[in-house]
Amino acid sequence: MCEFQGDKCCRKTSMKVDARYFWGSSLALGRVTHISKNCMCINTKYSIPLESMINLFLPIKRKVLDIPVRINSYTDADSHHDIMRVEVINPSYDYLEYANSLN
């Protein structure tokens, strides 16, 4: 289970990596701002219903990882963006290696 404490994802590393995901037939963009082995925070303009599952595409070391996530919560970032907190579902070896390398 993704661990959150108030508005923050626990045991996280700050970062800024652009990510993409599909919602319906639309390509949506976001910026990953915090990451851990279990969860991420993504700054985005799109609000997806809570508990929805999507695949997040994250460019890492000359690869694009396809990461299944579940939407857990939202917080307002500013008047145009929300922070979407997601739980990583069955993280791959490549994802775990990347998240661990950031600590």
Residue 12 has what pLDDT? 63
The pLDDT tens digits of the residues spanning 7-42 come to 455 556 667 788 888 877 778 888 888 888 888 888
Q: Record the tokens describing residue 74, joined without a space.
A: 């939202």
Residues paired with residue 88 on neighbouring β-strands, in sequence order: 69
**Domain segments of the chain: what residues?**
1-40+70-90
The pLDDT tens digits of the residues spanning 58-72 come to 988 788 999 999 999
| Length of the chain, in residues | 103
2 pLDDT above the threshold of 80: no
Residues paired with residue 41 on neighbouring β-strands, in sequence order: 34, 85
98 pLDDT above the threshold of 60: yes
Residue 67 has what pLDDT? 93
- Mean pLDDT in residue range 77-97: 86
